[in-house]
Structure 1
Amino acid sequence: MSCSSCHLPEHAFAEPKRVSVGAKGEQLNRNALALVNVAYNASFTWAHNNLDSIEKQILIPLFNEHPVEMGVTGNEQEILKRINTPHYQHLFKDAFGDDEVNMNRVVLALASYVRSLVSFNSAFDAYAYLGDDNALTPQQIEGLNLFFSERTECFHCHGGVNFTQSSKHSFQMFSVQPFHNTGLYNVDGKGSYPKSDMGLYSVTHNKSDMGKFRAPTLRNIALTAPYMHDGSITSLEEVIDFYARGGNKVDEINPHRSPFIKGFVISDKEKAALVAFLHSLTDDNFVKTHNAPKN
C-alpha cells in the first residue's frame, strides 16, 4: 500500500479514521499524524525519542511487521520491479545521477518529498506575520487570546511557529520537551495506559514516560479529525471539553499527567471562539496545491 493510503492531502495528509489499517487489513494502534511541516520536527511518530530524521522514521511504516503497516518486508524485489519502469528510471537519474532503483533511494526520495510539505499560509499567518489586522475575525482573536492565556495553557505544549514543541529551528538554543501525558487513560488508578499503546514508555521503559505522546502540530488541525494518538476524540469541541475537565477520570488523577493539564472553566461562547481560532490555522492553499486531481 502507498503512503497516501493513510496520509490524504485533503485532510492535511492525515486521515478521517480513528486508527490506520495496514496492508493486511490489521488495525494499527495509532491515528495517522498529519504530514505538515515535518521538516522542522525534532522527533517523529507519536512517541519515540530516538528517531531524529525523516529517513529513520520512514523505515517504520515501510518495514514494520507487528502489525504489518505498508507491507514492504519480504516484498522488496516485487516493489522495486513495479518502480523500475522508464518513467521512474528517468526520475531516479535526475535525482541521483543514474537510473539505479533501490530501496535506499526510495527512502531518500520519500523523505525529500515529505520535507516539501510546508504550510505557513493560513489566516493566522497573515494576521501574525504579514500585519493584516483584518485576517482574523473578532471571534478568532478572542480565541487566540484564550489559546495563549495561562487559563487554558494551550500554548505550553503547542507553542512556537509550528504550534508544537516537537519542532526545532536554527536559533533554538536547547531542545524542549515534546512528549506529554494528557491524562487520557488511567486503567489501573496508578497511571497506566492500555497495553496496546503505552506511549514513550514502550521505548524507554521509564515509568515516568508512561502515556507520554508527542504534541502534534495544530496547523491545519481542523482538517485532521479524529484526535489524540488513538483517534478517540472526534471533534475540536470535544478536545476542548477534555482539557477543560483536566483529562479523563478526574476523580482518579493520573500521577504521570502533565502539570499543564489541570483543567479550566470555559463558557460556550469562549469555546466557540477557541474553535474558531483553531480553524484560522487552516492553510487552504496548502491543501489545494497538494491535492492530486481525481481520475
Structure 2
Amino acid sequence: MQFDWSSRVVPVTVAVLLAGCGGGGPTSSDDDTGNDPPVDTVALTVQLGEMLFMDESLSEPAGQSCATCHDPGHAFADPDVSDQNPVSEGVVAGRFGNRNAPTATYAALIPDFEYDGATGRYRGGQFLDGRAVDLKEQAKGPFLNELEMANTDEAMVVEKLRAAPYAEMFEQIWGAGALDDVAVAYDHMAEAIAAFEETELFMPFTSKYDYCADDNFSCFTEQEKRGLDLFRGKGLCTECHIEDNGLFTDFTYRNIGVPPNPNNPYYAEEPDFIDVGLEANPMLTVDADRQKGKFRVPTLRNVAVTAPYMHNGVMQTLAQVVNFYNRRDQGCYGSQVPLVDCWPDPEVAENMETGNMGDLLLSAQEEADLVAFLETLTDGYQPMP
C-alpha cells in the first residue's frame, strides 16, 4: 500500500467479523483461575456494529438495513439503483430519497466537518452536504429519516435493540443498563456502527492502482498510463481529487454545475425541489450565501463500480462523467438531445466551478484514457499469475 492510513484503520479481518454474526453475543467461559476472561471490547464493538449494519429489523416496518443501500458486495453502495430509479427506495414502498446514496467505503477517513479559514472553504463531514460532523453522527441519521428506515424517534429504535438477539452485547461492552436510557443507548448503537465502518473491510486499499504504485505503475496498460498522466495534468482532475492522500479527494465542497435529473422519483413528492447542497447545512458559520449548490468532493476509489454518479444520479457511466467535465460549457443547440448529445443548464448556477472544468479540449481518445485509469481504482484487484 502506497499510502499509510494504518493508524485510522482497525485491522480486523473479515473472518473475525463474521464470527460474531450467528445471533447473540459471544459467551464467556471460565479460565483456569475460575474467573471470566477479559472481554475484548474493541473486537466486540466491531462485531456488534456489523450486526447492527446488517439488521433489517431496525427499520419501520422491518425490511431495510444500512446494508440495503450500502451493500458489502457492491463496494458499499446501492446495487438496486438504475437509470429510471437513480436514488434509493426507503423501507416504505414507493418513497424515495432525494439523493444518490454514496459509497460507504473509505468514509471513516473523511475528516470532521470544519471551516478552513486559510482556504475559505468548508471541508469534511459526512453525507454529501456534511450535515453530520463525523461517522458516528452520520450513523444516527438513516434510522429516523422518513424516506429511509422511517422510525419515528430514537425510542422506537432502542425498543428494537432491547429485543434483538445481540442485546446482551451492549452490556458486555458498556456495562449493566447500557440500553436503559434511550439517548445513551442510541449513542452506543451509532458508536458500534462507526466502529464497524472503521475496519479494513471498508478500506482495503487493494486496487490495481495500489498494486502498481510501488513499481511506478509499470504494470499499467499503456492506456491506463496515458489516463494517469491526463488525470495529473491536462484533465485538471487533481485540482479537487488530489492523489497524494490516496483517497482522490480534498474533502472540500464544490458546485460543478450538475444538471437536474428528470428521472429522480423524489420529484413526485416535491415537483419544485432544488437541491441546494451545502447551503442547507445547519453547521455553517460563515459565507452561507456562497455555499448553494455545493457538494463534498467524493473519493474516486471504487468509482467504476458505484454508478450512478453525482448527487442526483444523473449520469450512468464514467464515460458520461468525463465527457461532462470536458464539455459541460459547450451547451445544447438545435436538434441535440440534452443528457445524450450535450449538457443542459445546471440545477444551481450560483457558485459554480469554472476554472478547472467545462471546456478542457480533451479528445475522445483522451476521455477514454481517463476512464481506463479510473477503472484501476476498484478494490479487489488480482494480478495475473
Same fold by TM-score, threshold 0.5 exceeded? Answer: yes
Greater relative contact order, per chain length (Cα 8 Å cut-off, separation 6+): 1
Aligned equivalent of 1:19: 87
Instruction: Describe the superposition over 1:202-229 as per-residue Cα deviations: whole angstroms up to 9, x where unpaired.
Output: 2259332111001110001111000000
Which residue does 1:256 correspond to in 2?
351
* Residues in 1 aligned to 2:198 and 2:169: alpha-carbon distance in whole angstroms: 18
Shift of 1:63: 1.6
Letter in 2 for 1:4: A
Q: Counterparts of 1:91 and 1:252 in 2: how far apart (Å)?
A: 52
CA deviations over 1:175-197 (Å, ceiling 9, x no partner) = xxx1000111389xxxxxx6341
Other-structure match for 2:9: none
CA 231–82 in structure 1, closer or farther in 2 if over 3 Å, else same: farther
Change (3 A) 1:20 1:247: farther
1:244 Cα deviation from its structure 2 partner: 0.7
CA 1:237–1:96: 2 relative to 1, 3 Å: same
Distance 1:33 1:70 in 2: 17
Instruction: Check whether the contact 1:158–1:218 (CA below 8 A) recurs between aligned residues.
Output: yes
Q: TM-score, normalised by structure 2?
A: 0.62
The answer for unaligned runs of 5 or more in structure 1 is: 167-177, 188-193, 287-295
RMSD: 2.6
Q: Is the 8 A contact 2:260 2:314 kept in 1?
A: no
Equivalent of 1:51, from 125, 132, 141?
132
> What is the DSSP-based 3-state SS (H/G/I as helix, E as strand, rest coil) of the residue aligned with 1:227?
coil
Of the three residues 148, 156, 174, the one matched with 1:69 is: 148
Give the 3-state SS of the residue equivalent to 1:284 in structure 2: coil
Q: Specify the alignment match of 2:249 in structure 1.
A: 164
User: Which residue of structure 2 lines up, in the alignment, with residue 32 of structure 1?
Assistant: 101
1:127 alignment counterpart? 212
Work out whether 1:279 is the aligned partner of 2:375: yes
Residue 60 of structure 1 deviates from its aligned partner by: 1.7
- Specify the alignment match of 1:175 in structure 2: none
Q: Secondary structure at the match of 1:280?
A: helix
Mapped to 1, the partners of 2:315 and 2:344 lie a distance apart of: 20
Change beyond 3 A, Cα 1:77–1:238: same
Given the alignment of the two structures, is residue 96 of structure 1 paired with residue 178 of structure 2, yes or no? Answer: no
Post-superposition CA distance 1:158-185 (Å, at most 9, x none)? 113101111xxxxxxxxxxx10001113
Q: Counterpart of 2:225 in structure 1: which amino acid?
A: I
Moved more, 32-41 or 94-103: 94-103
What does residue 238 of structure 1 align with? Answer: 320
Distance 1:97 1:257, change over 3 A: same
Q: In the superposition, relative to structure 1, how do residues 82 and 260 fare at CA in structure 2: closer, same or farther (>3 Å)?
A: farther
1:200 maps to 278
Contact 1:185 1:248 in 2 (8 A): no
Output the CA distance in 2 between the equivalents of 1:104 and 1:146: 45
Please say if residues 259 and 314 of structure 2, whose CA atoms lie closer than 8 Å, have aligned partners that are also in contact.
Answer: no
SS of 2:151's equivalent in the other structure is coil
Sequence identity percentage: 33
When the two structures are aligned, how many residues end up with a matched partner?
261
Assess if the C-alpha contact under 8 Å between 1:20 and 1:28 holds in 2. Answer: yes
Per the TM alignment, residue 131 of structure 1 is displaced from its structure 2 partner at its CA by 2.3
Render the CA deviation track for 1:110-131: whole Å, top value 9, x for unaligned.
0101111113121111222x22
Gaps of 5+ in 2: 1-63, 112-124, 180-184, 262-271, 332-342
| Contact 1:182–1:247 under 8 Å retained in 2 | no
CA contact (8 A) 1:156 1:260 kept: yes
User: Scaled by the length of structure 1, what TM-score is found?
Assistant: 0.80
Distance 1:121 1:186, change over 3 A: closer
CA contact (8 A) 1:90 1:99 kept: no
Question: Structure 1 residues 222 and 251, CA, compared in 2 at 3 Å: closer, same or farther?
Answer: closer
> Aligned to 1:138, which of 210, 222, 225?
222
Larger Rg: 2
Partner of 1:270 in structure 2?
Answer: 366
Q: Is the Cα–Cα contact under 8 Å of residues 255 and 295 in structure 2 kept in the other structure?
A: yes
**d(CA) in 2 for partners of 1:280 and 1:112?**
28
Determine the structure 1 residue equivalent to 2:258.
184
Distance 1:157 1:47 in 2: 16
Distance 1:143 1:100, change over 3 A: same
Deviation of residue 144 (structure 1)? 0.4
